[in-house]
Amino acid sequence: MSSGDDVSQQPTSLLSGVEDDRADDAPRQGGLGLGLLILRLALGVTMGAHGLQHLFGLFGGPGIGGFARMLETFGYHKQTTLLSWITGVTELGGGVLVIVGLFTPLAAAGLLGVAANAVYAKFHGGFFEGHGQGFEFELLLAAVALSLLFTGAGPISLERNTPWRRRPLPLGLVSLLLAAAAAVVVIVLTR
């Protein structure tokens, strides 16, 4: 490094965050903002549509009663109606928040908790989808939610000036703990 290089522009560590607020960061990041927007849209639309199916029976969905009965086939036997409401609201609300990029780590944590429970419920059916038993799709949704937990929404979002946008790791770790705790509580209390 020559004496003219500015050391302050170098990241201090790999975990210091995906983004910072420097004006010259656009060329360095390239398509990061667009890539995160695409991930957010894919996850948010998919989970939001599932929430609409589970809550209101839209798009050929089962509605609350049908979803409660479906949960029973996956081994959930206690408070299935309440669990149906919680799952549907989490899917719809989390999906909307992820799409617009607002409170993304917390919204992604909720979606991760839902997807983790679905993976757990379908685990005995094998990896590949077949007759509604495989968990590959839910695992992919969980991976996208987990990624967004740690990256944040990106620059194309409503989180433009939030602390977790500049340093997403701390809130990502807290959100991961919340998602894990919620998933365990649901499994323990409803199975």
Per DSSP, the chain holds a count of helices (H) and strands (E) of: 8, 0
Distance, in Å, from the CA atom of 32 to the CA atom of 35, rounded to the nearest integer, reads 5
Contact 118, 133 (CB under 8 A): no
The pTM is what?
A: 0.83
- What 8-state DSSP symbol labels residue 79? S
Residue 15's nearest CA partner among 136, 178, 161, 167 is 167
33-63 residue pLDDT tens? 999 999 999 999 999 999 999 999 999 999 9
Which pLDDT tens digits describe the chain residue by residue (191 residues)?
444 444 444 444 444 444 444 444 445 566 999 999 999 999 999 999 999 999 999 999 999 999 999 999 999 999 999 999 999 999 999 999 999 999 999 999 999 999 999 999 999 888 988 776 789 999 999 999 999 999 999 889 998 888 777 777 888 999 999 999 999 999 999 98
Burial of 144 (0-12, 13-18, 19+ CB in 10 A): buried
